[in-house]
Structure 1
Amino acid sequence: MSDLIISVFRNQAAAFAAGEQLAALQQAAGTEPEDIVVVSRNSAGRIAINQSIDLSTGAPLGGGGWGVLIGLMFLDGRDPRSESQGLAAQLVAAGLDRTFLADVVESLMKGGAAVGMRVRLLGKERVMAKLDSLQGSPRIHWTRLDARTEEALTDMIGQIPQAALGRPRELPAD
């Protein structure tokens, strides 16, 4: 089981600073890196997904899958009804809390940004305490992922093309 924490800021600078603080918290704790993603919405309403990367390899920290999945949550602003075929409905069908998803999507205003992270080893309390201490008055959303939901979401991540995850591809041998 793990926790999904998304903290929404009014501006991108505060969200990127928060992402850096969370990465530093992970490094100081010596835990396995988790995906940290900053999702921003510009003044025209376009969404951008920015993940923390390992500077030595160029690959996303934590593998990239959870970061991409968190970013995808913001792309479908429709009401996640079970009879719908949209991305939001698929996330709810996988077990993500409908109210959590709707609140997260609605809270990201134009010009704002959100920091998202799946938390396992670092602990929800440490992450929440760090976010509460940051400037910018973040609006924090949190949900618990049970084993079934984690498995279903992991299956969804498995369907994301490798190129979208930003992982280096192996070249075929000559």
Structure 2
Amino acid sequence: MTHLVVLGLDSRDDAERVIQLTEDLAKQQLLQREDAAYAYKDAKGKVRIQQTVNLAGAGAASGALWGTLIGLIFLSPIAGFAVGAASGAIAGKLTDIGINDDLIKQVGQELQEGHAAVFLLARSATVDRVVDALKPFSPTIIQTNLTKEREDELVQALQS
């Protein structure tokens, strides 16, 4: 099952470091991250959102590959590449998978100026190692879809 955890952090810099940390943990196979994003409120009070997955870019790459293959079959690889890339980019833009954008915006509105929230969607994790890696950032749990018992355990582990 995939779990969503939203962590509150003191700054945008901390959010960027936590996102990088989750990438590193995923490379070490300690975290199976499906998606991640962060939101922060700038000095003017505007919510800014950074997504880690560019669906349009991924869609374009996939579409270009399929378009080229289809183009080769019909003896027009350049046209196939162009049509495939365009349709893949559009499909990627229109497909909202991963973390719900409305949730990110909603949580972002509640942030204090200068503070940030990191949104992690993960299938599995080596919990003790991930928690130990996050502790230096002193995150707070803003929201999660974990059971109440598991959420309480996570809060306790991050505070100890």
Shorter chain as denominator, the TM-score bin is 0.5 to 0.7
Q: 1:48 to 1:124 in 2, by over 3 A?
A: farther
When the two chains are superposed, the root-mean-square deviation of aligned CA atoms in Å is: 3.2
Is the counterpart of residue 7 in structure 1 residue 21 in structure 2?
Answer: no
Question: 1: distance between equivalents of 2:30 and 2:104?
Answer: 30
CA drift at 1:131: 1.7
- Equivalent runs, 1:95-134 vs 2, <5 Å: 106=110, 108-122=111-125, 124-132=127-135, 134=136
CA drift at 1:30: 7.2
Asked whether the equivalents of residues 73 and 105 of structure 1 are also in contact (C-alpha less than 8 Å), the reply is no
Aligned counterpart, 2:142: 141
Poorly superposed stretches of 4+, deviation over 4 Å: 30-33, 123-126
- Equivalent runs, 1:142-157 vs 2, <5 Å: 142-144=143-145
Q: 1:58 to 1:129 in 2, by over 3 A?
A: farther
Count of aligned positions:
111
Greater fraction of residues in strand: 2
CA drift at 1:18: 0.7
- Structure 1 residue runs of 5 or longer lacking an equivalent are 78-103, 147-174
Aligned counterpart, 1:99: none
- Structure 2 residue runs of 5 or longer lacking an equivalent are 60-94, 148-160
Asked whether the equivalents of residues 10 and 109 of structure 1 are also in contact (C-alpha less than 8 Å), the reply is no
CA drift at 1:74: 4.2
Greater fraction of residues in helix: 2
Report the TM-score when normalising by structure 2: 0.54
Aligned counterpart, 1:26: 26
Percent of aligned positions with the same letter in both sequences?
Answer: 23
1:7-27 C-alpha deviation (Å, 9 max, x unpaired): 111110111011100111011
Give the number of the structure whose alpha-carbon radius of gyration is greater.
2
Report the TM-score when normalising by structure 1: 0.51
Question: 1: distance between equivalents of 2:58 and 2:132?
Answer: 28
